[in-house]
């Protein structure tokens, strides 16, 4: 372990000393100044040897081992010193609180004793007290000594206690000094609770006075807790970095209520897609969740601007999720997701979500006919294995209330029922994690490997899927008919994984790019109600490295491809029979991972191409397609120029995995259009692009 000092003028760190503490790692540290104007500092360390090691030294370093505190029977997880405790206006003691995996919390008192007397070789006799029977070792610092004793043992948590922290000092004047240490400790545990401990006024015995916690079955407990500077709020962080906030809103009596906090993915975000009308963004991640973000419209947003929140978590899965697509067209909101499994899963929105979305967007949403029937889907329950989500019907909610009274026979395998509700304000983590699930309506079997890419046509009639592949057979693209969800086609062209697919604006063509450095264009024709025909129009080796992304012109049959070879190429389908290269953009500084083309008007054939790179940077290129004079409508050329290079501080810090514009309907007559991006840095970002500024 190393001790550093900060030189504020030059903002430099200087290493004062390096301490070697043995073979067992230390995982908790706390540093404090000893009371009594000695100028000495005490350092507490705890780790895997179940002991608290105390070192004493000066501000210039030279820390010496002082003593050990024994008592915990498992790893030490957290340590925290209080400010000096004053008696008669003089600081004469300091408290150290420790927590451990033995589920216990210990408070140690370090009281200043008389100065060392070399002639007598003894200490001044003090009054007998309970502490004298449980006195610990003596800590010597220069000419002063401190008697260490166990002040209290706090038992209340049922699992490992990961964090303890003293309430921040108050600036109110007490006993003539400008601050004092409130006698209040916050603890956070893996038993999914946080507790506040305070001494009882009369007896001085430390008691648990407040307990708050995440009661959802899917929470894995809290890894740490923290006070706000004023002490009226407490924040916990749990598995996956989720935040949980409570605030004391009581006036005369404590009343700790949960508060809204930011949320997001805790692993790389692999895919994003806008809702068909742009009301929300759907994202999937390797954290095995699907999340919905929307701009919550309320009175405050009219003044301060839009406020984006996670409003639902429709899928909590048992596998990393790689891809997603929203089913376009009329009817209920539906999406298809693919994970590290051979099955694609179809989900449908619940009645509670539609009403929540109505509150979020301040719009009147017409509910689909199937949800207005006698059987309405209100929400969804998670299965015991965390793979399927079963629907909860409206009339079944009353039955569930009766069934829940089952003589209290709860076991470790018991999965509590979700309680879906219409939300009138952005939800908190407890609601998101369990009560906003969507039911799974279908499973699509056919692929032999893990799903990798999905897309849906603009009419909402076909969904295309691909999986990880190292052979031509596994690299087949499957076509699924929306509604019946039958497989209606298997398109063969590539020999390795198809990395992305996209339908043209008129759904007459399907573009696919692959790890085999080729792209393929298929023609899609509907020959009947349930039948389609397809044919390979063109296949071409387009780049020198893997092709990661592709995107169609929303108003034509031109498309762009982006590759690991750091290039973007613009292609055109020539008179519906072949594909020709229009231009190659100047080479980029990093591999091109994501592309998205948006049109700015059908007549002008102008648009923006968003380019996302492995470095995390994003650029917007202005594209203008020039049509041939023969009246065929085919492209004769394209003009391209850099419109905007986004500030690196606004971009991702790792690879951009997907880019998605809000949609052609939104961009036709709007001066501001929104671009969503997701990346390997666990982030989803939404940019608002001013069309007039970008064009200039």
d(CA 162, CA 156): 14
Q: Provide the pLDDT for residue 118.
A: 38
160 vs 188: CA distance, rounded Å? 9
Whose structure tokens read 């209040």?
184
- Cβ neighbours, 10 Å, residue 205: 8
For the segment 313-339, the average pLDDT, to the nearest whole number, is 91
pTM: 0.85
The per-residue pLDDT for 268 is 95
Collapse the DSSP code of 626 into the 3-class scheme (helix H, G, I; strand E, B; otherwise coil) and give the result: strand
371 pLDDT higher than 50: no
Instruction: Give phi and psi for 433, each to the nearest 5.
Output: -70, -20
Neighbours of 217 (CB within 10 A): 12
Element of type H or E holding 374: none
pLDDT score at 152: 92
Cβ neighbours around 525 below 10 Å, total: 11
Q: How far apart are CA 113 and CA 123, in angstroms?
A: 8
pLDDT at 409: 39
The C-alpha angle with vertex 76 and arms to 24 and 217, in degrees rounded to 5, equals: 120
Q: What is the pLDDT of residues 168-186, one digit of tens each?
A: 987 665 555 556 788 999 9
For the stretch 486-544, pLDDT in tens is 999 999 999 999 999 999 999 999 999 999 999 999 999 987 667 889 999 999 999 99
Q: Which residue has the tokens 């603890």?
A: 187
Q: In this predicted model, what pLDDT tens digit does every residue of 76-116 receive, in sequence order? A: 999 999 998 877 777 788 999 999 999 999 999 999 885 44
Nearest residue to 152 via CA among 105, 208, 93, 101: 105
- Count the Cβ atoms, other than its own, within 10 Å of residue 188: 32
């Amino acid at each position: 372990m190393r001790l550093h000092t900060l030189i504020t003028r030059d903002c430099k760190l200087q290493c004062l000393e390096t301490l070697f503490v043995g073979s067992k790692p230390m995982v908790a540290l706390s540093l404090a100044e000893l009371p009594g104007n000695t100028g000495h500092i005490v350092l507490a360390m705890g780790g895997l040897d179940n002991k608290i090691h105390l070192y004493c030294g000066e501000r210039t370093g030279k820390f010496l081992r002082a003593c050990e505190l024994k008592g915990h029977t498992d790893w030490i997880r957290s340590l925290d010193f209080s400010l000096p405790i004053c008696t008669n206006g003089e600081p004469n003691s300091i408290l150290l609180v420790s927590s451990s995996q033995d589920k216990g919390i210990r408070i140690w008192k370090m009281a200043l004793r008389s100065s060392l007397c070399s002639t007598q070789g003894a200490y001044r006799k003090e009054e007998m007290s309970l502490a004298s029977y449980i006195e610990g070792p003596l800590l010597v610092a220069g000419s002063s000594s401190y008697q260490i004793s166990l002040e209290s043992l706090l038992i209340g948590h049922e699992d490992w206690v990961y964090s303890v922290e003293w309430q921040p000092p108050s600036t109110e004047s007490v006993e003539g000094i400008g601050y004092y240490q409130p006698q209040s400790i916050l603890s956070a545990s893996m038993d999914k609770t946080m507790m506040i401990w305070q001494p009882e006024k009369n007896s001085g015995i430390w008691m648990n006075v407040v307990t708050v916690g995440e009661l959802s079955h899917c929470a894995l407990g809290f890894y740490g807790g923290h006070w706000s500077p004023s002490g009226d709020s407490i924040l916990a962080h749990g598995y996956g970095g989720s935040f949980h906030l409570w605030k004391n809103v009581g006036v005369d009596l404590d009343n700790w209520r949960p508060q809204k906090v930011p949320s997001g993915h805790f692993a790389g975000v692999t895919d994003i897609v806008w809702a068909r009308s742009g009301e929300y963004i759907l994202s999937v991640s390797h954290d095995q969740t699907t999340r919905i973000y929307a701009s919550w419209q309320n009175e405050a947003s009219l003044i301060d601007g839009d406020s984006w929140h996670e409003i639902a978590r429709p899928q909590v899965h048992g596998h990393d999720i790689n891809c997603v697509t929203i089913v376009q067209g009329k009817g209920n909101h539906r999406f298809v997701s693919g994970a590290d499994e051979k099955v694609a899963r179809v989900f449908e929105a619940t009645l509670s979500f539609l009403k929540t979305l109505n509150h979020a967007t301040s719009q009147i949403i017409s509910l689909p006919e199937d949800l207005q029937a006698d059987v309405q889907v209100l929400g969804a329950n998670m299965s015991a294995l965390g793979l399927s989500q079963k629907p909860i019907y409206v009339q079944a909610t009353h039955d569930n209330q009766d069934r829940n009274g089952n003589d209290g026979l709860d076991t470790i395998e018991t999965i509590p029922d979700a309680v879906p509700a219409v939300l009138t304000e952005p939800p908190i983590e407890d609601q998101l994690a369990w009560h906003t699930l969507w039911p799974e309506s279908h499973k699509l079997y056919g692929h032999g490997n893990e799903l990798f890419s999905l897309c849906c046509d603009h009419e909402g009639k076909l969904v295309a899927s691909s999986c990880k592949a190292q052979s031509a057979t596994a690299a087949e693209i499957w076509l699924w008919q929306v509604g019946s969800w039958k497989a209606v086609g298997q398109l063969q062209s590539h020999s390795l994984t198809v990395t992305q697919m996209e339908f043209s604006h008129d759904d007459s063509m399907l573009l696919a790019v692959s790890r085999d450095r080729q792209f393929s264009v298929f023609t899609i024709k509907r020959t009947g109600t349930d039948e389609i025909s397809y044919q390979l129009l063109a296949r071409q080796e387009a780049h020198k490295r893997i092709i990661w992304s592709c995107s169609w012109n929303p108003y034509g049959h031109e498309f762009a491809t982006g590759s690991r070879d750091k290039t973007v190429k613009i292609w055109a389908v020539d008179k519906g029979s072949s594909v020709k290269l229009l231009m190659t953009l100047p080479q980029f500084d990093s591999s091109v991972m994501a592309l998205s083309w948006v049109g700015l008007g059908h007549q002008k054939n102008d648009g923006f191409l968003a380019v996302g790179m492995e470095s995390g940077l994003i650029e917007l290129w202005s594209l203008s397609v020039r049509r041939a004079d023969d009246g065929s409508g085919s492209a004769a050329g394209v003009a391209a120029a850099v419109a905007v290079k986004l500030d690196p501080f606004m971009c991702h810090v790792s690879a951009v995995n997907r880019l998605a514009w809000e949609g052609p309907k939104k961009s036709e007559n709007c001066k501001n259009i929104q671009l969503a991006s997701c990346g390997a840095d666990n982030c989803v970002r939404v940019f608002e692009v001013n069309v007039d500024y970008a064009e200039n």
